[in-house]
């Protein structure tokens, strides 16, 4: 079982949106970066635990936890001409982009703020701090525990 961090702009899709999904899960789609794609396609497995990170908003930080309920499969949006994520170069035979399905697990009482993560000596090597533009990124078990220890 591995740990990850997925970013989303809460104005687009927040942890509350996931919590309120009637069916209990949602597809994590629209990832259009090759490094992130490779992680989704090759590494993310059902049962993995994921931090839900709110980016590009007033309060940036980790909002809670979700669980992967389906491992990587071709992102349907790349084949949908009406989607903003449509990719003319993708085909069913050779899909370019991948999605996973995620389920809500937990919302933290308070956001764990990026500025506090940056101040935590145990987290100076976290990808979130050093590779700030990657929207799907690995979290080590030690980092996972260090973040959980920051909960109010």
Partner DNA sequence: GCCAACGTTGGC
**Stretch binding DNA (CB under 7 A), from 12-20, 26-34, 38-46, 67-75:** 26-34
**Stretch binding DNA (CB under 7 A), from 12-20, 27-35, 40-48, 103-111:** 27-35
**Stretch binding DNA (CB under 7 A), from 16-24, 29-37, 98-106, 142-150:** 29-37
For DNA, the closer CB: 14 or 135: 135
For DNA, the closer CB: 23 or 115: 115
Q: How far apart are CA 48 and CA 77, in angstroms?
A: 23
- What's the burial of 131, exposed, middle or buried (CB within 10 Å: 0-12/13-18/19+)? exposed
- Residues 120-139 within binding reach of DNA (CB under 7 A): 131-135
Single residue of 17, 21, 34, 38 touching DNA by CB under 7 A: 34
Q: Which residues bind DNA (CB under 7 A)?
A: 7, 32-35, 55-56, 60, 114-115, 118, 131-135
């Amino acid at each position: 079982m591995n740990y990850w961090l997925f970013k989303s702009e809460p104005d687009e899709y927040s942890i509350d949106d996931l919590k309120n999904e009637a069916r209990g899960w949602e597809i994590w789609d629209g990832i259009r970066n090759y490094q992130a794609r490779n992680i989704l396609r090759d590494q993310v497995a059902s049962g993995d635990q994921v931090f839900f990170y709110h980016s590009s908003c007033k309060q940036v930080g980790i909002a809670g936890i979700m669980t992967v309920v389906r491992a990587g499969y071709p992102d349907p949006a790349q084949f949908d001409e009406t989607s903003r994520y449509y990719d003319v170069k993708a085909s069913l035979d050779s899909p370019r982009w991948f999605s996973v399905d995620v389920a809500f697990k937990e919302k933290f009482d308070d956001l764990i703020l990026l500025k506090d993560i940056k101040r935590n000596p145990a987290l100076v090597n976290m990808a979130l701090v050093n590779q700030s533009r990657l929207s799907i990124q690995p979290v080590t078990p030690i980092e996972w525990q260090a973040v959980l220890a920051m909960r109010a």
